[in-house]
Structure formats: C-alpha cells, structure tokens
Amino acid sequence: MEAETHASTDLDRNDGRFLMNQSVKDFSWSGLTVTVKYRENKQARDLICDISGNVKQGELVALMEPSGCGKTTLLNVLARRSPGATKVLIYTYVNGSKVDAASFRRMTSYVEQEDALIGSLSVWETVRFAADLSLPTSVSKRERMDRIRTLLEAFGIQKQPNTIVGTPIWKGISGGQKRRIIIIASIHQPSTNTFQLFDKLLLLSGRRTCYFGPVQDIESYFRKIDHSISGNTNPAEFLLDIVSSDFSSGKESSQERVKEIQNAWAASTEAKTITRQISERA
C-alpha cells in the first residue's frame, strides 16, 4: 500500500510541467555581426551584419533566407557555437539581463538538422510527411505521389522506399542516403497553411535583415514598401523570390531590389521599435 502511495505521488509530480520553460520569459539580441578574415589576402568580410531581434516565451519563429545568406551562421552564434576563426560582436539578453556564454549554454539546447529525421519512418513515409507539410492543398494526391517518386529517382534512392531511416541502435539507410533525404525534405517551400503557424519571421538576405516581426504583419509591411503580395500567392515563396539575386535572370536589378528592401527595413519604424524594446529591457 505504501508503494502505491509513493507511485501516485510521483505521477502527480511528473504531470508534464517539468517540460515547460519557466525561466526564460524573453530572449533578445542586438548588433549581431560576424566577420571573417581571409588568409589569402587578409581582407575582412562580414558574414552577417547588424542583426537584432527578440523572441518571447512560447513564440515560434521562422528563419528564412536564400541559400548562403547567413542563416546557419546566425544560429551558431546565437547558440554560442561560433567558429574560432571569426570575430563576433553580439549583445544577448535573457529576461532583460545580459548573459555570458556559459550561463546561456546551460539554459539552451542546440538541435542539428540531421535530428529532424524520424528514425522509425521509412524513406517513403519521411518524404511523404515533408510533402504534406510543404505542398499546397491544390496539389492532388496523385501529383504528390508522382512528385515523390520523381525526387526519389533523381536522388538515386528509389530502391529503398520501404527501408526505415534508422537510429543509432536500429540499422537503416546509410549516412549518405540520409543526407539526400534531408535535401529532398527541405527543397519544398513551406505551404501557406504551414507558414501561418509561425508567430514571427526573420527574413535575411545579403547578410542583412530584410524583415523581422509578426507573420500577420508581413502583407501590410511589404505593401508599404511597394512589394504587394497578391491573394493567391504563397507568402514564403514570394518573400524568398524578392530577396534572392544569385539565380535571377536580371541579377543587377535584383541585387538593387534586395538593397532597397534591406535599407527600407533599417529605416523602418518596426526596426527602430525592436531596438527601443531591447534597450528598454536591458
């Protein structure tokens, strides 16, 4: 009888509340700049420049950028995992107070991209899951299946559709095949419905901020700077398109457009509000 009482007490105490974040009410950073100096010519180059933002408890933030524009660098620096060959300037605050690197590591965790794969799912199930999350509802079931088959064939893993991804203790596909699945799962743009699940968006391009704020305010903000989003357009696809330059047909004009969007954000009321909120909390 005593054992049963103890078990009941333990169950009451472990009702899931210990999984909730009770200590960090808000996290903010300002002036985040990462500079690297090349060995060949000793010249310095900013990998990301003057990025600021704030996230409150319970908010889900989407980080979007054209490939190679600083997303991984930003996450590494925020997680205090910056490479030794770089110079980092950043001010970080938790609940309005500055925190050192050691304290920050104790209260945060960093999840690598490879951990996004669910080891118990098959190759087909993994890609199907990614497609269901990312493709719009206008794509029929048959079109989804055809697209999945095409992608699996293109990446040379069409013969392992029913093989499980695997875990450290449950053998599955090889490491190289896992990397191919990660590529397949990430090449879709997020659907409108998935995009709307996020509270905020941090949009980067050319090492600088193009937008940071509520997802619900994106349409009105970009209309204000003369980049209106039409009603039948996927917002995520539209935003990545207007801040991309490397693969555009008119590269020079697209680079100018990106600079205009960056400058518009830097001068915006929204950007100044974030800076003021961070300084007031610090």
56: β partners: 26
Confidence class for position 217, pLDDT limits 50, 70, 90: very high
Judge whether residue 140 has pLDDT over 60. yes
Confidence class for position 113, pLDDT limits 50, 70, 90: low
Structure confidence by residue, pLDDT tens digits, 36-91: 877 777 777 888 889 999 999 888 898 888 766 677 788 888 888 766 657 787 88
**Global confidence as pTM:** 0.68
Can you give the pLDDT at residue 115?
54
Buried residues in 33-50 as b, exposed as e (16+ CB within 10 A) = bbeeeeeeeeeeeebbbe
Confidence class for position 251, pLDDT limits 50, 70, 90: low
* E-strand stretches of 66-112: 86-94, 97-98
Can you give the pLDDT at residue 268?
97
What does the pLDDT average to over 256-278?
A: 94
The Cα–Cα gap between 59 and 61 comes to: 6
Can you give the pLDDT at residue 258?
92
Judge whether residue 19 has pLDDT over 50. no
Per-residue CA distances from 46 to 70, 88, 116, 203, 243 (Å) = 10, 10, 29, 17, 18
Judge whether residue 187 has pLDDT over 60. no
Can you give the pLDDT at residue 138?
78
Higher local confidence (pLDDT), 108 or 93: 93
Residue of 116, 100, 256, 276 lying closest to 185 (CA atoms): 116
Report all structural domains of the chain as residue ranges with CATH numbers, in order of start: 26-111+183-280 (3.40.50), 114-180 (no CATH)
Most confident among 106-120, 124-138, 246-260 (mean pLDDT) = 124-138
